[in-house]
């Protein structure tokens, strides 16, 4: 059964249309990547798909049933969300934070039972966090906190995992570690994954399907080979890329060169102003 279905999702803020008629599906065992420039509507879409906000028009269904018909608790048993801002540096231990992932499965009183403890122990072992279990999360680096956030989501045992730019502040080894961890979890449990990624090369390597958004509309959809094409990158991002197959995996990869931004095509649309030294700021 399809885990997540969205039809005709439309959203406006203050009279400005931010998303226009987005249709999508995410199936069990599938990783769908959402890509698109800054301000194209990815985070807004994630907020609507996770039930944090209700769209002005269109429907979002979780396992065939309107998202709004699920209680927050029922929904949390099936959907885990890692927001863009990640896990805050809270003064709880790793074990406490991972145990919080069990809340949707606990009774009206959130007692931690034997099953919860078993799941938390398993997750700490799978994520190599056993040694840090008593460490306070506020003393951890951004990369380590992201690992704890994934562990908390794993303890939640969802059927759908939604991630908004999970790799943005991570070095390349932590980027791969997080995405590898999700992939192995997914293969084991048949998890459906929807992930926003800015890095097109990681998106191509890790996603089965890509949805490319521009100005709130879905403009390309398909396998990485279908979507990661020079014409699409040029049109949507306004840069002139070189696309080559990865020498080992044959998956398309994007190479960039300096001064290849077509400032008229993309940046003017997004009110980006250039300063004298050519760095740009979004306004």
Give the residues lining the site for ligand ATP (CB under 6 A): 13, 18, 36, 38-44
CB of 149 to ligand ATP, least distance (A): 18
Instruction: Give the C-alpha separation, 57 to 9, whole Å.
Output: 6
Per-residue DSSP letter, 183: H
SS3 204: helix
Instruction: Give the C-alpha separation, 225 to 211, whole Å.
Output: 12
Helix axes 142-155, 114-126, angle to 10 degrees: 140
Instruction: Give the C-alpha separation, 251 to 270, whole Å.
Output: 30
Task: With beta carbons less than 8 A apart as the criterion, state whether 163 and 82 touch.
Answer: yes
CB of 220 to ligand ATP, least distance (A): 15
CB of 273 to ligand ATP, least distance (A): 15
Q: Of 185 and 237, which CB lies nearer to ligand ATP in the complex structure? A: 237
CB of 17 to ligand ATP, least distance (A): 9
Q: Of 41 and 252, which CB lies nearer to ligand ATP in the complex structure? A: 41
CB of 124 to ligand ATP, least distance (A): 31
Q: Of 16 and 173, which CB lies nearer to ligand ATP in the complex structure? A: 16
Q: Considering only CA atoms, which of 151, 154, 257, 270 is closest in space to residue 216?
A: 270
Q: Of 18 and 60, which CB lies nearer to ligand ATP in the complex structure? A: 18
Q: Of 42 and 181, which CB lies nearer to ligand ATP in the complex structure? A: 42
Task: With beta carbons less than 8 A apart as the criterion, state whether 154 and 163 touch.
Answer: no
Q: Of 154 and 200, which CB lies nearer to ligand ATP in the complex structure? A: 200
Contacts of 113 (CB under 8 A, 6+ apart): 106
Write out the H or E segment, with its range, that includes residue 174: helix 172-189
Q: Of 140 and 217, which CB lies nearer to ligand ATP in the complex structure? A: 217
CB atoms within 10 A of CB 99: 21
CB of 126 to ligand ATP, least distance (A): 30
CB of 40 to ligand ATP, least distance (A): 4
Q: Considering only CA atoms, which of 162, 92, 98, 93 is closest in space to residue 125?
A: 98
DSSP string, 109-157: S----HHHHHHHHHHHHHTT-STTTTSBGGGS-HHHHHHHHHHHHHHT-
């Amino acid at each position: 059964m399809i885990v997540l279905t969205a039809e005709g999702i439309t959203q406006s803020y203050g009279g400005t249309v931010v998303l226009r008629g987005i249709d999508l599906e995410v199936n069990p065992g599938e990783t769908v990547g959402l890509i698109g420039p800054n301000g194209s509507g990815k985070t807004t879409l994630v907020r609507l798909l996770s039930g944090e906000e209700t769209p002005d028009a269109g429907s979002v269904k979780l396992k065939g049933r309107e998202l709004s018909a699920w209680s927050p608790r029922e929904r949390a048993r099936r959907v885990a969300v890692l927001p863009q801002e990640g896990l805050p540096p809270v003064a709880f231990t790793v074990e406490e934070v991972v145990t919080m992932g069990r809340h949707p499965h606990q009774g009206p009183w959130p007692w931690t039972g034997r099953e919860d403890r078993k799941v938390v122990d398993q997750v700490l072992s799978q994520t190599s966090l056993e040694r840090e279990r008593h460490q306070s999360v506020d003393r951890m680096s951004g990369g380590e906190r992201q690992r704890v956030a994934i562990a908390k989501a794993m303890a939640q045992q969802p059927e759908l995992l939604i991630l908004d730019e999970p790799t943005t502040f991570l070095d390349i080894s932590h980027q791969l570690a997080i995405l590898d961890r999700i992939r192995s979890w997914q293969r084991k449990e048949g998890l459906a994954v929807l992930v926003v990624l800015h890095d097109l090369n990681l998106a191509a390597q890790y996603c089965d399907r890509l949805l490319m958004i521009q100005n709130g509309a879905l403009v390309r959809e398909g396998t990485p080979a279908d979507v990661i094409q020079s014409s699409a990158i040029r049109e949507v991002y306004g840069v002139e890329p070189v696309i080559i197959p990865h020498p080992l995996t044959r998956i398309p990869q994007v190479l960039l060169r300096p001064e290849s931004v077509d400032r008229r095509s993309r940046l003017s649309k997004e009110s980006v102003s250039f300063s004298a030294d050519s760095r740009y700021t979004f306004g």
